[in-house]
């Protein structure tokens, strides 16, 4: 199960990927992280999927990360008396709190929080942005709008409010229940939807209380504006391009994606690029050339992970979709241009001893014939700093904590190994050499770089680097106690 690529693949589970055989096949095809979409499925169904993933993990002998993606508050119009109405440019439409079924002139918008924040001139997007309304007049329980872009409006269509910071918590009542359920279940990552401000992440992390890492989904313009503070409050980021492309001009999304990826790398926090990456593969065994180029672009930009949504959850070709992502990643990462881009975008951050150690490890690996960098990392911090360096050689993360090993499955280039606690540095080097040989990264004739913290088993104490042989006899003869 050794991966020959660095970027990770996140596969969403659903009706098309619900049993042991399919989930194992997806892992063997290249999935490193499985996403549980809390917008779909009852808790018992989610529990069964979680148990299957853990069985696959045991059977394959490789840590697998599980990501629970919370739904977030859903903003929708009410129902119509005759099901659907066509709106044309220049038409007037009133939104209000009246639950009476709507018509072509008015409809319920059962969200007083939206009316409280609206102002004349604000835009409202309906049905994934297909319909655009502009507010002409508004109050605490109504908004009179003019249709800027027409279309067919029908029951319960979603509403986006791109111009306004809404006084809505990112966590709905459903999200709070789902969050507690998934944390008790033992997921490794929780993704928070509808993030607008860093306080949203602070609240979520307080509720999680260290039971999982928390990732912010960037899908609103306010999240882009507040990104630096949101990143500081998060353990990772998902660039959720679906809603982002609805609420912002579509041509604005690519540069935002590139900018956010670079900021995440500088902060040593993983970033997932998501939404519509291989969407045609929901119904086709082959992707479009544009989709392949999109996946490749995210990899060239240095993303830690790329994600499949409906392609693996509900599509007809889930294994083919994972295989396609894997093949694209292999081709890109073997391209000389990829390495030059990755090296050029490295930030020179050496503020701490750990920063200096991982930077030195990468430089040694680039200037010698070292075959791998092996880092001991109890909390995952040193491993994340090593991933930020994007070294030319494989990274092996050694940890005694299964929870840490699973979390690190989302990070670029990380090969995670669960090891027993060690008390002496000599045994740490021996274990590192064994792991490098067992995984096929090195032979007894090769050298590796080992980083660790003395004393052992204390998070955040990385302070030692050793270039060591993979031959245990040489280690015992030459290494200090």
To the query of whether residue 76 is one of the catalytic residues in this protein, the response is: yes
* Buried/exposed 203-239: b ≥16 CB within 10 Å, e otherwise: bbbebbeebbbbbbbbbbbbbbebbeebbebbbbbbb
In degrees and rounded to multiples of 5, residue 471 shows phi and psi of -90, 115
- Closest by CA to 6, choosing from 418, 417, 443, 392, is 392
Q: 417: which residues sit within 8 A by CB, 6+ positions away?
A: 396, 397, 398, 399, 405, 435, 439
Q: 363: which residues sit within 8 A by CB, 6+ positions away?
A: none
Q: 90: which residues sit within 8 A by CB, 6+ positions away?
A: 146, 147
Report the residue count for the chain: 481
To the query of whether residue 35 is one of the catalytic residues in this protein, the response is: yes
To the query of whether residue 217 is one of the catalytic residues in this protein, the response is: yes
Give the active site residue among 5, 62, 106, 217.
217
To the query of whether residue 275 is one of the catalytic residues in this protein, the response is: yes
**In degrees to the nearest 10, what's the CA dihedral of 247, 217, 278, 127?**
-30
Give the N- to C-terminal CA distance of the chain in Å, as an integer: 33
Contact between 187 and 36 (Cβ < 8 Å):
yes
Give the active site residue among 12, 182, 275, 462.
275
* Helix, strand, coil percentages, rounded to 5, for the chain: 40, 25, 35
Q: Is the torsion defined by CA of 207, 216, 173, 406 positive or negative?
A: negative
3-state secondary structure of 206: helix
Give the active site residue among 47, 54, 76, 92.
76
Give the span between the Cα atoms of 118 and 129, in whole angstroms: 18
Neighbouring C-beta atoms of residue 61, cutoff 10 Å: 8
Residue 156, CB-side half-sphere exposure with 13 Å CA sphere: 1
Strand order in the sheet with 92-96: 106-108, 92-96, 142-149, 131-139, 123-126, 159-160
Give the active site residue among 8, 24, 35, 265.
35
Positions marked catalytic:
35, 76, 217, 275
């Amino acid at each position: 199960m050794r991966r020959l690529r660095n970027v990770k693949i996140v596969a969403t589970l659903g009706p098309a990927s619900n049993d042991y055989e399919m989930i194992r096949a997806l892992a063997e095809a290249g999935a490193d992280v499985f996403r549980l979409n809390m917008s779909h499925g009852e808790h018992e169904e989610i529990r069964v999927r979680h148990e299957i993933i853990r069985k696959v993990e045991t059977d394959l002998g490789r840590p697998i990360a599980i990501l629970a993606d919370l739904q977030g508050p859903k903003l929708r119009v009410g129902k119509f008396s005759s099901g659907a109405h066509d709106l044309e440019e220049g038409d007037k439409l009133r939104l209000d709190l009246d639950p009476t079924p709507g018509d072509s002139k008015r409809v319920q918008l059962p969200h007083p929080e939206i009316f409280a924040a609206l102002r004349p001139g604000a835009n409202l997007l309906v049905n994934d942005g297909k319909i655009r309304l502009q507010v002409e007049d508004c109050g605490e329980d109504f908004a009179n709008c003019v249709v800027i872009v027409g279309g067919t409006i029908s029951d319960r269509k979603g509403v986006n409010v791109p111009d306004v910071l809404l006084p809505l918590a990112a966590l709905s009542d459903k999200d709070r229940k789902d969050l507690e359920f998934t944390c008790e279940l033992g997921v490794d990552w929780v993704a928070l939807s509808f993030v607008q401000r860093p306080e949203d992440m602070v609240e979520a992390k307080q509720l999680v209380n260290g039971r999982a890492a928390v990732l912010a989904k960037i899908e609103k313009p306010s999240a882009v504006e507040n990104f630096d503070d949101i990143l500081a409050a998060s353990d990772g980021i998902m660039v959720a391009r679906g809603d982002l492309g609805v609420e912002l001009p579509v041509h604005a999304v690519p540069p935002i994606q590139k900018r956010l990826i670079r900021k995440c790398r500088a902060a040593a926090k993983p970033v997932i690029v998501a939404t519509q990456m291989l969407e045609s593969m929901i119904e086709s065994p082959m992707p479009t050339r544009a989709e392949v180029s999109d996946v490749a672009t995210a990899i060239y930009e240095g993303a830690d992970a790329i994600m499949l949504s409906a392609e693996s959850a509900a599509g007809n070709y889930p294994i083919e979709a994972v295989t396609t992502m894997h093949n694209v990643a292999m081709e890109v990462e073997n391209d000389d241009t990829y390495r030059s881009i990755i090296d050029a975008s490295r930030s020179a951050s050496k503020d701490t001893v750990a920063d200096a150690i991982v930077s030195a490890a990468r430089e040694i690996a680039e200037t010698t014939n070292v075959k791998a960098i092996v880092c001991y990392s109890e909390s995952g911090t040193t491993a994340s700093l090593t991933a930020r360096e994007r070294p030319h050689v494989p990274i092996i993360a050694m940890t005694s904590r299964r929870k840490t090993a699973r979390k690190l499955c989302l990070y670029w280039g990380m090969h995670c190994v669960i090891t027993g606690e060690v008390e002496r540095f000599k045994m740490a080097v021996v274990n590192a050499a064994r792991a490098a040989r067992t995984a096929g990264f090195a032979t007894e004739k090769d050298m590796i770089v080992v980083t660790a913290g003395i004393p052992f088993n204390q998070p955040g104490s990385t302070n030692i680097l050793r270039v060591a042989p993979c031959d245990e006899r040489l280690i015992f003869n030459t290494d200090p106690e």
